Structure formats: structure tokens, C-alpha cells
Structure 1
Amino acid sequence: MSTALSLSHLVLTPALVYVVVSDLLYRRIANWLLAALLTLWLLHTGLQLLQGHADLHALTIGASASAAVLVAGYLLFVMRWMGAGDAKLMAVLCLWLGEQSLLFLMVTALAGGLLALALPVLALFERGLALALMQLNAWLPRPAAVPLPHSLREHPIPGIPYGIAIAMGATLVLWGSF
């Protein structure tokens, strides 16, 4: 069992927290975040390859899983069963998680099922958090105003914030081996 924090822990943990909040309140996973995660992975992997420290087996599994997730995610997106941000997030996380990417996909599927079962409770939590955020927003100066969360809009966006399940799956795999 490893006792040192890896770059994956340092990069992915705050990114996954951001994903949970953003997807819960706004049903969005920011492209800038996905691009930053991909860029950091490419730089880190490139450096490891140049130094001869890359685990080619893990790299191959992660890249293969990432490609498969992108293809499947695109098909699910076309059928409107999955958001594009969810598919892109899962693909980039497969790159970061390497040989643990298959475990990540299984844990994420289980977390998605639990999330679906907990949807009524999640909706109450989401609305409470949105109301609290709007109270905080009243105290902020206007240029820093927070956008209205989707649950408080006249026509809320339907669906499950699957980014939460994805973040849960990645977090469990990432920190489970720590």
C-alpha cells in the first residue's frame, strides 16, 4: 500500500470535488476542466516516457479504456442517455487511472445505481444547497454573483447528475489503493 500522494491524487481530488458541485447545481461539467485534466495527463505521461519511467501496460489499458468509453459515450449521447461531459470525464479519468480504469468503470456503474435510488433525497439536498448558495449570493458584490442553480429555475433540467457517480467511482478507486 502506497503512503505517498501521487500526482493523480493531487490533480484529480479537487477536480472531482468541482465536478460534483458543478454537476449537482448546474448539470454541467466544464470543458475547460476536462481540457486541463487531459493536458496535465499528456504532459505528465510525456515526461514519464522521456525519462523511461512510464508503465506501458497501465498506459495501454488506460488509453484503450478511454477510447472505448469515448465511442460508447458518443453513442449514448446521441441516444440522449448520457451527457457529453459525463462521457468526456469518464474517458479522461480512464487515462489518469490507467490499469485501474476497468475497476473505475465498474465502481462508477454501481455508484450510478445507488445515485438513481437516492434521487429523491439528492433532490432535497440539491434544492437546499441551491437556496443556501442564493442566500450567500445576496451578500456578494454583483460582479461575483453566482448563476442561478438549475433546481431553482422555472424549468429545471431533468436527469441524473451522473458526474456525481463518476466522481464517486474515481474517488473510491483513487483513494482505495492509498
Structure 2
Amino acid sequence: MKKGDRTREHIIMKSAEIFNQRGYAGTSLNDIIADTGIQKGGIYRHFASKDEIALEAYNYASSMVASKFSEAVDREQSASGKLVAFFRVYENVVNDPPFIGGCPMQNTAVESDDTHLELCGQARQGMHAILDMMKSIIRDGIQAGEFREDLDVDAIASFAIFLVGGRDFTQQVGWR
């Protein structure tokens, strides 16, 4: 990896932590400069704007959390085991969060819902992907005979997501 690519990656990783903890509105370019140790010119050599950094940082943070869900689920064979593994990702969220500052999808969706439409749209897509993953696990469990055939997959998946992410998360994916 070239030095420029490593620098860009460093900016994204550090910015993801800052944005996830302070939010888009609460993070300034000076905060990014302070946390990365890279001067303004160096930042602008890699990114055209704070918006571009925020979008890249969100993609990085959400992919880290999504990979933790995928890794946990992939280790299990049964649908019920996959559901339990899904919840275990957030089992020790206070001491061992999947990403610093909490769930980037939820944080970003809640903070940006009326302030940064592109960022909010990305967060909603991420939350829908997690919801779809949950639905797929439940459908697989029904097909394997692990769960009853008459289960309402959408309602069960939404309820499970509600248990993980709370009311704000489920409102952002359209379940109220």
C-alpha cells in the first residue's frame, strides 16, 4: 500500500471514531486535524470536503460493525444459533462495543435524519441490510423446520432489531 493510501485510510479510520462519538455537526475539521495529526492541506489532498470524509468514515464504521455481525452469524450452523450470535455482538456493548461510540448506523441515522440527507440515506441502507440479514436467518429457520411456518418474518425481525437497537433504530428503518 502506498503512503498516500495509508494516509487516506488513517484519516478515514480516525474520522470514523470522531464522527461516531460526536456526530457530524459536532465534529469540525480542526477535530479531524487534531486526532489524525495531519494538517489541513494534507486532509484536503485526500478529500474534497468534510462531507466526503463523513461519508467515507461512515462506510468504514458501518462495514466494521456489519463484519462483526457476519462473523458471529457465520460461526453458527442453526438459525437459532445465528439469532443468538447476532445478539451477542452487542452483549457487552459498554465494555466492548462493536465500534467506538456505539452503533454507527443508529448514531448516524438519528443525528442526520434532517440535517444531512446523503449520510442519513447511507445509514438507512445499512440498517435495512441488517434487518434483511435478520429476516433471512428467520426464513432459513422456517425452511429448516427450526421455527414455525406461520411466523410473521417481518414482525419477528423488526422486534429482534428493536431489542438490539431500540426505538430510534426501528423508527429509522420505518417500523414504528
TM-score, normalised relative to structure 2 = 0.29
TM-score, normalised relative to structure 1 = 0.29
Higher RCO (C-alpha 8 Å, min separation 6): 1
Structure with a larger share of its residues in helix: 1
